[in-house]
Amino acid sequence: MDLPIIHYSKSEYIETDTGNKVSRKSVICGSQNIVLGGKTILQTGSVIRGDLKRTGTGHAVVVSVGRYCFLSQGCVIRPPCKTYKGVFSYYPMKIGDHVIIGEGTIVQAATIGSFVTIGKNCVIGRFAIIKDCCKIEDNTVIPPNTVVPSFSIYKGSPGKLVDELPESIQEIYEARTKDRYAKFIPRAD
Amino acid sequence: MMSRPKLTISTRALVCQDNDLRGEIIVGAGTVLHPQCRVWATGGPIMFGSGNIVEEHVVIINRGPEPLIIGDHNVFEVGSVMEGMKIGNRNTLEVKAHVKTGTWLGDECVIGTVCSTHENEILPDRTVIYGDKNDRRIYSGNKANQMSVHMRHLEYLMQTLPKFNHSRTST
Amino acid sequence: MLAIDAPPGQGKTHQPFVHYRCLCSSPGSSATASTKSSSSSIHDHEADSTAAGTSSAADMNIDNTAASSSSPAPSSAGALIVRASPTSHESLFSEHHNPRSTEEIFASGNSSDEHGSMSLSRLYFCDSCGEIRCPKCTQDEIVCYYCPNCLFDVPTASVKSEKHKCSRNCFECPICQNTLSVVSDDPDVSLYTPGMTTAAGQYHLSCNMCQWNSNEIGMTFDKPTGLAVQLQKAEDGLPDVKEFGRLKDHLEKYFRVHGLKQGLPSSLLSSIQSGTLQSLRYVSSTNHKAQQSDDIAHYTPAVQVVEDTENLEKLMSITSLDETTSMKQRLLQLQNQTYSTQRLQPQRIHLRIKKSRRCRSCRHILVNPEQKAQATRFKINLVALNQLPNITIAHIQPMIVQTVSTVILRFTNPRQEEAHVSLEAGDGANPNHGVRILSENFTIAPFNEVWEYEVGTLTAPPGQAQEDVYDKTANSTSIMLYITPVAPGEVKIPLFVTFSFKARKLQTETGSPKLPSQLVLSGAAGRDSMPPAPEVEYVDKKVSFWTVIGFGDAVPTLSS
């Protein structure tokens, strides 16, 4: 089935000049440390903690999100933290292009590649690395420090490989995220 | 109809604004409450020890008449729910963990991600609950690193959070 | 777009889907059925090419419940009736009576639904044969091996000696099979500074799910790298590995004398059970004369097996389930499948592979990934998604028995050339829902990258009169179908699609040795007489295939 058109009320979302649509009811801490690639949608209730940054001065990017991403309602994006050489710090987090993160998912990964779909109510542990072209099913728990290689489908708790994605998945996900962005339009009133 | 919370916050504790606090809450020294958490002391008071970390979307509820005593150096990660009766020291409730009503937690327990305890049970020290079927085991508790990591985490939060969030004071 | 996001929580109701059928999945049987199925697939193909598509639907078993007498006679002459054998019917029914959701079919690898058809995302298209290939019609070959944890490319030569497992620092927790991390006892030490003097035994493995660590079994390491090597010595020291080595040395002399191909010594054969080595016996029976005086000397094992009462007593005194291993934990540690959790050891992580696919009939490569493990690009990627029209259900009205519902199908053309599509509804499905296609022949505009940068045109411009299609936008055309379900339950209709387009002539077909780009590169010298850009020759190509389109469940009418 084709995706239905999702309407939102114009007053609820801010649209930036690069095409990002950010809900006013999303919780963005430390917005100066967050970079959104163009045409990314942050739905109501999503939380991005840009205030947890690396110790040290200077303007650092804490969370960078790519283009055509879709962060659903209630998802939480938090940078991961650990002690390294005696220093405790939070580390920057990078999310690629064309990434869909489902409702209620908590993401603390170190990097998420491009063309990734993450289901609802997932938990991506600290310093997990999700490479390009992956799919994480609903209700999956990815333990900390896990590496999810390309073209895998992970499911369960702890997340295990259950299947492989077809070779055409990059085009499928790209078309899907672009379509999702195109169908997210303000209500006519 | 939320009554104003009665907060007793130690001087070295950090309770951010933008929290949902109800009832009588006592926060010990060195404890950090992130923004967006919910602490409801509806039945009886909630007493935090020192050095606890409560992250966002955490729900701590005390419905029973007795006070809920939370020990020292516990970590409540994002989305966890604490409805139990007592918590000891150095426990970790991982993301979306759930401690059900009437449960007592000992010391150094780890409730894993999306795991839950049963109701009205007493968990011995160093219990680990993990996996989607809530498997349990007792681990050796050899987390010597954990205390030092925890102290550094607290230091960091004390320095960084005030830069981006307002904090509450005692009422 | 592809039917990926089915609405959740609908239990046993069926979701709409569009599946394409590969020619290997012959009428009503799986690819592993008898030879009758392969012959019937050839007949199917011939029937297609004579454009008697509707009649060959008679051979298709859309229904998976009826007996063999249900396939009706074909309506037009000249078509072949191939009755699927009764055995294939039964096997079909027994294997596939659990309908699966679209999400599962999309997600599951090589499996198809009960008609042997699958989603377009899983199919390939062979250019030279001009046919759809499903994963079963392609042959897989291994391109490279890599570790799924450290993403390290393992050279093929060392894969076998490392037993297909990662030889670096990747281990699995014996309790919960999660990846272990290397942890140092001292929090100030980093794992990545080489050359730092460390206390002996400072590093150990730790699981962050079940909090198991290797200190519990006394396994510590001196340095944080090369852990597998440090473990290898322990692995080699096991008594049964040593015993196997000794046995092999003892027998090797005999193999070298007689040569392995001539068969095993008769004394060895007689002591082995018959069923498993029948082929070897057959081989050796032809070499009897060599078997006279080659009995092997008696071998005394160095390790004596004693009555194992200790294990038994320990098992009988178990008080809690935590002390014994589960089957899964036991079977992951094959070298000494232990009953006690105390003796479980971390296992090295199994390697994964990258595959290339080849068409089974013409041996051309369909999919060839890059050699590097971490690259997601492909050198060759002939997926059906880029060659055939993508059919999606754009709009669907709820299905009620004996009521006409309107369905809008959208065909998207991925090619750079304009394409022409003709449709025919399949006959002979059971239950045979009424289908009326409003536009049986239409064209689809070519794909143009310019449209990618426009925000999609969602409001439909008025349909062009000459083609009577519902809508035409960018590179897709939508048409209307009227469906009248005749029975409640899942509504599935077969649709025969013929897709014609102009393709560039392949180099081998034209016989000309140079591609246009090579002509340009070869420079001006001596080529002035030739035109700078030769005419690109197009050849008409036509691909026909069956699709099965499901529209979800039909609700019975209130009156019935």
pLDDT, tens digit, 9 for 90 and up, residues B69-83: 999 999 999 999 999
Are C415 and C385 contacting, i.e. CB atoms less than 8 angstroms apart?
no
d(CA C123, CA C385): 8
Are C175 and B110 a contacting pair at CB < 8 A? no
Are A76 and B152 a contacting pair at CB < 8 A? no
Q: How far apart are the first and last CA of chain C?
A: 36
Q: Does A132 touch chain C (CB under 8 A)?
A: yes
Res C339: pLDDT: 81
Q: Does C199 touch chain B (CB under 8 A)?
A: no
Res B93: pLDDT: 92
Res C338: pLDDT: 81
DSSP state of C346: P
Q: Which residues of C touch B144 (CB under 8 A)?
A: 185
In 3D space, the residue among C416, C423, C434 whose CA is nearest the CA of residue C468 turns out to be C423
Res A135: pLDDT: 95
CA distance B32 to chain A (A): 14
Is pLDDT at B131 greater than 70 in this prediction?
yes
Res C176: pLDDT: 85
Quote the ipTM score.
Answer: 0.89
Res B80: pLDDT: 93
φ and ψ of C235, to 5 deg: -65, -40
According to DSSP, the residues that pair with A186 across neighbouring strands are A8
CA distance B11 to chain C (A): 29
Q: Which residues of C touch A84 (CB under 8 A)?
A: 190
| Helix, strand, or coil (residue C344) | coil
Res C296: pLDDT: 67
d(CA C391, CA C495): 11
pLDDT under 50 in chain A at which residues? none
Res C467: pLDDT: 66
d(CA B10, CA C515): 80
pLDDT under 70 in chain C at which residues? 1-12, 25-115, 186-201, 234-235, 256-296, 303, 428, 451-467, 505-536, 559-560
Q: Compute the count of residue pairs across chains A and B with CB atoms less than 8 Å apart.
A: 62
Res C294: pLDDT: 54
Nearest to C211 among B113, B128, B148 (CB): B128
Give the DSSP H/E element, type plus range, for residue C508: helix C507-510
Beta strands at C419-425 and C471-473: parallel, antiparallel or unpaired: unpaired
Which CATH code, of 2.30.29.30, 2.60.40.10, 2.40.50.140, 3.90.1300.10, is assigned to C17-123+383-452+463-502+542-555?
A: 2.60.40.10
Q: Does C151 touch chain A (CB under 8 A)?
A: yes
d(CA A78, CA A107): 6
Are B131 and C209 a contacting pair at CB < 8 A? yes
Are C25 and C115 contacting, i.e. CB atoms less than 8 angstroms apart?
yes
Q: Does B139 touch chain C (CB under 8 A)?
A: yes
d(CA C560, CA C543): 43
CB interface of A with C, residues 90-109, below 8 Å: none
**Domains of chain A, each with CATH number or no CATH:** 11-186 (2.160.10.10)
Are A170 and C190 a contacting pair at CB < 8 A? no
Res C49: pLDDT: 34
Which CATH code, of 1.10.290.10, 2.170.190.11, 2.160.10.10, 3.40.190.10, is assigned to B6-161?
A: 2.160.10.10
Q: Does A172 touch chain B (CB under 8 A)?
A: no
CA distance C294 to chain A (A): 51
Q: Which residues of B touch A62 (CB under 8 A)?
A: none
CA distance B13 to chain A (A): 18
Q: Compute the count of residue pairs across chains B and C with CB atoms less than 8 Å apart.
A: 37
Res C285: pLDDT: 52
Q: Does A144 touch chain C (CB under 8 A)?
A: yes
Q: Does A155 touch chain B (CB under 8 A)?
A: no
Q: Does B128 touch chain C (CB under 8 A)?
A: yes
d(CA C438, CA C232): 70
Residue of chain C whose alpha carbon sits nearest to that of A83 = C187
Q: Does C187 touch chain B (CB under 8 A)?
A: yes
Q: Before C431, cis peptide (omega within 30)?
A: yes
Nearest to B130 among C209, C213, C216 (CB): C209
d(CA B77, CA B37): 10
- Gyration radius of chain C over CA positions: 32
Q: Does B1 touch chain A (CB under 8 A)?
A: no
Are B113 and A123 a contacting pair at CB < 8 A? yes
In 3D space, the residue among C25, C161, C23, C178 whose CA is nearest the CA of residue C92 turns out to be C25
| Helix, strand, or coil (residue C399) | strand
Phi/psi region, residue A133 (left: phi>0; alpha: psi -120 to 50; beta: rest), is: left
In 3D space, the residue among A56, A29, A92 whose CA is nearest the CA of residue B165 turns out to be A29
Is pLDDT at B155 greater than 60 in this prediction?
yes
Res C104: pLDDT: 42
Encode pLDDT of B139-150 as tens digits. 887 666 778 888
Q: Does A141 touch chain B (CB under 8 A)?
A: yes
Label residues C59-88 b or e (16+ Cβ within 10 Å = b). bbbbbbeeeeeebeebeeeebbebbbbeeb
Are C151 and A149 a contacting pair at CB < 8 A? yes
d(CA B19, CA C123): 52
Q: Which residues of B touch C215 (CB under 8 A)?
A: 140, 142
Are A76 and B149 a contacting pair at CB < 8 A? no
Residues of chain C with CATH 2.60.40.10: 17-123+383-452+463-502+542-555
Are B35 and A29 a contacting pair at CB < 8 A? yes
Q: Is the pTM of this model over 0.90?
A: no
Encode pLDDT of B104-118 as tens digits. 999 999 999 999 999
Subunits that touch chain C (at least 3 Cβ pairs < 8 angstroms)? A, B
User: Among A32, A81, A123, which would you mutate to test the B interface (most chain B Cβ atoms within 10 Å of its Cβ)?
Assistant: A123
CA A68 to chain centre: 10
Q: Does A55 touch chain B (CB under 8 A)?
A: yes
Domain ranges of chain B: 6-161
CA distance B107 to chain C (A): 15
CB interface of C with A, residues 483-512, below 8 Å: none
